[in-house]
Amino acid sequence: MFIDTHAHIFMTVTERDISLEDIISELHENQVDTVVDICGSEHELEYHKSVEETFLKNNINFYAAAGIHPQESSNFIDSDISWIAKNKENIIAVGEVGLDFFYDFSPKEIQLKMLRKMIEQTIELQKPILIHGRCGEALIFDMLNEYGFDDKKVLFHCYTGDLETAEKILKKGWNVSFSGILTFKKSADVLEIFNHTSINNMFFETDSPFLAPVPFRGKPNTPGKVRYVYDFAANLLNMKQADLAKQVRENFNKFFNLNI
Ligand SMILES: [Zn+2]
């Protein structure tokens, strides 16, 4: 019933030591049947392909997206990224890509250069783009406009920017996705953005292994826990979880051009 639009399976398994078995049983327990696995390197994408069958065998739709994370821009700026295009058939989107000026892992100029490369890659592959914007949302918005993204599929994952930029994003018909942050006590800003977002343009995600929702805060996150974000959102909207899940599924199919 539920979809996790953004998780990092390689990191969840290898860095947090959570087994695939546990991830899958938790997905079943929480009625989560679809996961988008965000791969930030060829190695992560190869890992995705190696575990794909395990998910499919367990009736989980398991999709990959691939792109260079802004924090990794310095590490990848001079390396061969042709593996993304080579895997055109294996990915449903380019992402996560964007700008992150909250952390200081890559200089601004390098991040901007990498984002251009990723936007051009998105246009070439004709895929949706999944955006990571931290303290750089307005610049990303401007760059997408510069490239003429009006009729393209854009999803800002785990949006934590300002309301003004969010309104501009939504006005374009682009989308935002909400993570466990929505359930945190001190999330007034994200809550305000949620209240401004039409249910036709919203998605939910875990960003596993990060940002575990209440009541799991501080623990490693897993895709099954996306249900807690849906629960929280359905309450805010005064909707049944199943109705919200159905709407998000429609959004998902439309956005990724799928039929699940
Ligand atoms: Zn992520």
Taking only the tens of pLDDT, the chain with its 260 residues reads 999 999 999 999 999 989 999 999 999 999 999 999 999 999 999 999 999 999 999 999 999 999 999 999 988 888 899 999 999 999 999 999 999 988 888 899 999 999 999 999 999 999 999 999 989 999 999 999 999 999 999 999 999 999 999 999 999 999 999 999 999 988 889 999 999 999 999 999 999 999 999 999 999 999 999 999 999 999 999 999 999 999 999 999 999 999 99
CA of 53 to the centre of ligand 1 (A): 22
> What's the pLDDT at 15?
93
Residue type, 120: E
Q: Please give the Cα distance from 30 to 8 (Å, whole number).
A: 18
The whole model's pTM is what? 0.96
**Separation of 158 CA from ligand 1 center, angstroms?**
8
**Cα 7 to averaged position of ligand 1 atoms, centre (Å):** 6
From ligand 1's centre to the CA of 238, what distance in Å? 28
Mapped onto helix, strand or coil, the DSSP state of residue 206 is coil
Question: What integer pLDDT is reported at residue 103 of this predicted model?
Answer: 84
CA of 47 to the centre of ligand 1 (A): 16
Question: What is the 171 CA–ligand 1 centroid distance (Å)?
Answer: 24
Cα 68 to ligand 1 centroid, rounded to whole Å? 11
The rounded Å distance from CA 64 to ligand 1 centre is 12
**pLDDT at res. 105:** 84
Q: Return the H-helix or E-strand segment holding 132.
A: strand 129-134
Please give the full DSSP string across 42-83, using - where no structure is assigned: HHHHHHHHHHHHHHHHTT-EEEEEE---GGGHHHHTTS--HH
Edge-first strand order for the sheet with 129-134 is: 2-7, 32-39, 61-66, 93-100, 129-134, 154-156, 175-178, 202-204
Give the bridge partners for 62, in sequence order: 35
**2-256 belongs to CATH 3.90.1660.10:** no
Return the domain boundaries, the chain. 2-256
**Ligand 1 center to 95 CA (angstroms):** 9
**Span from the CA of 179 to the centroid of ligand 1 (angstroms):** 10
Closest to 49 in 3D by CA, of 34, 33, 66, 32 = 66
Cα 97 to middle of ligand 1, angstroms: 9
Count of residues making up the chain? 260
The Cα–Cα gap between 176 and 193 comes to 9
Per the CB < 8 A criterion, the answer to whether 58 and 26 are in contact is: no
Give me ligand 1 centre to Cα 39, in Å: 9
Burial class (CB in 10 A: 0-12, 13-18, 19+), 90: middle
